[in-house]
Chains A and B, each alone.
Chain A
């Protein structure tokens, strides 16, 4: 028996974007091979049943691959700590599952202000909305409809995650101020779906989910894609995307189990290796005719990296708040200050996202902000006053796409297969600093409106003594309007190589002020639908069509 190395579509990466593309294409019988450098995770690979579960978060489940150092990981250099996971599910294996949508204004930031590298998206919210809805149904979103701060959204698979004492307390505070707020949409089941269990409010979302409640793609898209016949190859680390006569012909990968190299040939190649991995691989794929890397004739591959601008604000109240229960990262959000108001001295805006804490060890060790319980005689009182009386408010700001924030190749350091690793450089723009500073004061205002605050602590701008958390990695191969302003056209088709697509968060031209996975996955579903409907035309194209000339649906 043999396994064919020829396919219609080759997908690189089995995370949020790659899984969505693989499943949607294979729904209509398109032959797909997907290459993933990691492996499957077992439910008992999660730490939720272990007594050291809180410690594992800085060890086997650390978000940063440089800390985790798994064989399937690749290190990064530079001044940032991009948080990524390698495996079937990609970074959805440890993501929050917070599921907001971008707002209509987010697709028109070029029109609104155009600061630094900001451009309009080549599509509108209305263009993307049907694919948000398709994707929501696939993953089983938990939602309460009726949010007056966003366009109407369809009913969820289940109701919104429970808010608990924290949600109700902060909600009352927002109401007192007359500010917008709403229960968070979450990619967390509140009703069973397929073989996935509904959430039991265990409070530890950012270590993945052994119940399959959180919509990581290993439990959402992949079982269906594999039933469709997708050939998902794990431990398959791509070394190079191959091109001949201006068209992608496939990719060469290293089987990490055997060390052998294999070549896949494909009519279309889809990159979905995340906003660090995709530009890394494109830059690694320099070859005759593409001396600076694939799809990089304009030098934009790797540029305009966005992480969101952040501050974490911890507030402790004078009453129990059950912070160890419920959806850890996103109970609710206020988007009162989402839109640009230049009277504040900056463009763009932010969400105030309400979250929880973890267990007693995390509380003793400073919760999210380094407010650590003292050792010695003062320990007991500090702990007893703080534990489970806490609410977290994330100030999550939209950061500008800045050309010098970028991913490049580090030539001197290699991964375990000998491939060059990415160098990641990121500096917060002064606009984004001002935005977060202003937002921190609003978070404090909301906490005081909610109740009696007995203690506060903050990471300040950009995290504790470092760059912002790099868990939303976006923009490094953005879709756009012309070959001068972007890497792909509005169908995620690279301007330089017509049968090479990019469908991860690197394709997002702006990052909005919300968690990006629902949007990147909607974009991936839309691109897959386009490939599906226009497969013969795309395969026959010798030049990538402009947004106007592309055949569309």
Chain B
């Protein structure tokens, strides 16, 4: 049976049959416009991330570079199954922030850190997702990239993203003098010979016969 094809454009964007696949993929860059957090939730989250990556030594604190907004994009909104990293949805995540709430916000920093240490011990899966998302978020922020540029010789050329500029302008080429000393050889086809097997492999040689008498 042949298939009819022709100029039959979809009536609207929703009619494009590919559109049904979009919901089955995580949007690159996260879900827009991103989750909104309550003031209390925001303070809890900023407090946590500031303990995870303390500012100083020329680097901003996470709370100063809006790490919370990055969280908001990568936490799936309510109704979206958390199938991808960080594998936790809006309702559960906000619920965890609410559980910490004002008690956490008002606690002494030493007690806040102890709370996080307990969380790391008792719920390592959640804690590590929280930590990892914090690291991804913080090191994506332009002010942090600028701090790396300014404070680390190794990072002076780092850009906010790999494209569009790349690094050809600052990438070293090969030192051609190195190639004067390179050694090497290879075994030619006609020089391949059977080896004596190590003791541990004796008896493991297979019995495949080769047409034309090439081997074994």
Hey, which bits of chain A sit against chain B, CB under 8 A?
1-5, 39, 45, 47-56, 58-60, 67, 69-72, 103-105, 107-108, 110-120, 122, 124-126, 144, 146-151, 160, 162-165, 167-168, 171-172, 174-175, 178-183, 199-204, 210-211, 235, 257-258, 262-263, 319-322, 324-326, 335-336, 338-340, 342, 345-347, 359-361, 363-365, 373, 375-377, 379-380, 384, 387-389, 430-431, 434, 480-482, 484-485, 546-548
Contacts and interface: CB of A to CB of B under 8 A. Distances in A.
Contacts of A235: 18
28 contacts: A1-B5, A52-B29, A52-B70, A53-B161, A71-B21, A104-B189, A110-B215, A111-B215, A117-B206, A163-B173, A164-B172, A165-B172, A180-B182, A202-B165, A257-B17, A326-B171, A335-B184, A335-B186, A339-B187, A346-B198, A375-B134, A388-B152, A481-B214, A482-B210, A482-B211, A485-B209, A546-B211, A548-B212
A69 B198 contact: no
Interface in B135-163: 135-136, 138-142, 144-145, 148, 151-155, 157-158, 160-163
B101 interface: no
Given A5-B2, A180-B183, A322 B171 contact: yes
A48 B162 contact: yes
B154 to A, nearest CB: 4
Interface of B is mostly: loop
A321 B212 CA distance: 52
Which of B30, B116, B182 has most chain A Cβ within 10 Å?
B182
A204 B162 contact: yes
B148 A387 contact: yes
B140 to A, nearest CB: 4
Contacts, number: 335
Given A117-B206, A147-B184, A375-B116, 17 more contacts: A2-B2, A4-B2, A54-B139, A55-B74, A60-B25, A104-B189, A119-B206, A119-B215, A200-B167, A200-B168, A361-B139, A373-B135, A375-B52, A376-B52, A380-B57, A380-B59, A387-B155
B13 interface: no
Contacts of B171: 162, 164, 201, 322, 325-326
Nearest to A205: B162
Contacts of A1: 4-6
Contact of B18 (A167, A257, A340): A257
Contacts of B214: 108, 110-111, 120, 481
Contacts of A379: 52-54
Contacts of A69: 24, 83-84
Nearest to B29: A50
B199 to A, nearest CB: 8
Interface in B2-30: 2-6, 17-18, 21, 24-30
B121 interface: no
B178 to A, nearest CB: 5
Interface string B163-198: 111111011111100110111111111001111111
B110 to A, nearest CB: 12
Given A60-B25, A148-B182, A361-B139, A113 B194 contact: yes
Contacts of B168: 162, 199-201
A113 B195 contact: yes
B161 A51 contact: yes
Given A5-B1, A58-B85, A345-B200, A364 B209 contact: no
Nearest to B142: A51
A202 B162 contact: yes
Contacts of B155: 320, 360, 387-388
Contact of B175 (A70, A107, A115, A171): A171
Contacts of B132: 365
B46 to A, nearest CB: 15
Contact of B25 (A70, A114, A346, A359): A70
Interface residues of B, number: 98
B116 to A, nearest CB: 8
B195 A340 contact: yes
A113 B84 CA distance: 45
Nearest to B166: A200
A56 B86 CA distance: 11
Contact of A112 (B83, B195, B200): B195
A110 B166 CA distance: 45
B205 interface: yes
A116 B174 CA distance: 42
Contacts of B153: 320
Contacts of A112: 192-195
B196 to A, nearest CB: 6
List of 9 A-B pairs having minimum Cβ-Cβ separation, nearest first: A200-B166, A149-B184, A180-B184, A111-B215, A320-B154, A202-B162, A388-B154, A148-B184, A257-B17
B106 interface: no
Contact of A377 (B54, B173, B187): B54
Contacts of A434: 200
A47 B28 CA distance: 7
Nearest to B180: A175
Contacts of A430: 200
A163 B182 CA distance: 15
Contact of B154 (A119, A346, A387, A547): A387
A384 B152 contact: yes
A149 B163 contact: no
A5 B3 CA distance: 7
A118 to B, nearest CB: 7
Given A52-B74, A111-B215, A175-B181, A360 B158 contact: yes
A104 B195 CA distance: 16
